[in-house]
Amino acid sequence: MKHSPSMSSCDSCSNKFETIFKHLTQEEHDMISLDKNCEPYKKGSVIYHEGNRISGCYCISSGIIKIYKTGIDGKEQIITFAKNGDIIGFRSVLSGELACTTAKVIEDSSLCFIPGDTFIQLFKQNREFSMDLMQLACKELGEANAYITDIAQKTVRERLAEILILLKDNFHLDNEQFLQITLTREELANIVGTATESVIRLLSEFKSDKLIELHGRRIKITDINGLKKVGNIF
């Protein structure tokens, strides 16, 4: 590894090469490495804005990015979180459309940039990469369908319980059973699609019901099955 000063971040991207980039040839591998521009991003910085044209994709080597869309009153609707190993921006790059979401750093991150041209060339020349990427898009489509149905049909209580379980699944619990992602109540509300106060009240209820414990913004999940039951998760 030539990138000795940021070796840890590039190692992380190499790990990602075992997933979406796992079928690249060594030459293609180098092609990305050559173009790769691994940069640190501070909490709060914006990777790309909704409505802008994106010049390339980003591979996340560390940190957490929230992907959200802004609605009519300027309220955020968080669509998903991207973490170590995920790619963001591929939708706009491949479709040639403007970004339909904004990507903002919620935990100091390190991202590797892949120019759009390179990405598209890879897609076109490596059938396995294109298949992997297609499968990723299809998986995301399936998740979106579920998200739509849940927002439309589940109560806010059910939704919040479900979100906590999803956060556990995506970011895992540490040794003390705390979620390893820290969100404001407003951010949780922006995932659930409800008012901040409603989230605060429900978290308080979940705490009373011994489903979770609250330590400042840190959330300890104490009864996973209880939460699954509340969230109607099967």
- Contact residues toward a second copy (CB under 8 A) are 69, 71-73, 75, 77, 79, 90-92, 94-97, 100-101, 123-125, 127, 130-131, 133-135, 137-142, 144-154, 193, 232
Q: Among the candidate windows 3-11, 85-93, 136-144, 209-217, which touches DNA by CB under 7 A?
A: 209-217
Least CB distance to DNA at residue 75 (A): 8
- Residue 219 is a binding residue for DNA (CB under 7 A): no
- Residue 130 is a binding residue for DNA (CB under 7 A): no
Q: x-or-dash pattern for DNA, window 165-184, by CB under 7 A?
A: -------------------x
Residue 127 binds: one of a second copy, DNA, none (C-beta under 5 to 8 A by kind)? a second copy
- Residue 185 is a binding residue for DNA (CB under 7 A): yes
**Residues in the chain, how many?**
234
- Distance separating alpha carbons of residues 216 and 123, to the nearest angstrom: 45
Q: Which residue is listed with tokens 């390339």?
A: 56
Cα 18–chain centre separation: 18
**Distances in whole angstroms, Cα of residue 29 to Cα of each of 1, 127, 129:** 13, 15, 12
Q: Among the candidate windows 106-114, 163-171, 194-202, 226-234, which touches DNA by CB under 7 A?
A: 194-202
Residue pair 68/190 in contact (Cβ under 8 Å)? The answer is yes
- Distance separating alpha carbons of residues 217 and 97, to the nearest angstrom: 37
Q: Using CB under 7 A, which of 1, 51, 204, 210 touches DNA?
A: 204
Least CB distance to a second copy at residue 143 (A): 9
Expressed in angstroms, the distance from the first to the final Cα of the chain is: 45
Residue 14 binds: one of DNA, a second copy, none (C-beta under 5 to 8 A by kind)? none
- Distance separating alpha carbons of residues 123 and 129, to the nearest angstrom: 6
Residues 137-156 that bind DNA (CB under 7 A): 155-156
- Identify which of 41, 40, 20 has the alpha carbon closest to the alpha carbon of residue 29: 20
- Identify which of 15, 109, 113, 10 has the alpha carbon closest to the alpha carbon of residue 62: 109
Q: Using CB under 7 A, which of 15, 124, 214, 229 touches DNA?
A: 214
Residue pair 1/61 in contact (Cβ under 8 Å)? The answer is no
Q: Which residues bind DNA (CB under 7 A)?
A: 155-157, 184-186, 193-198, 200-201, 203-204, 214, 216-217
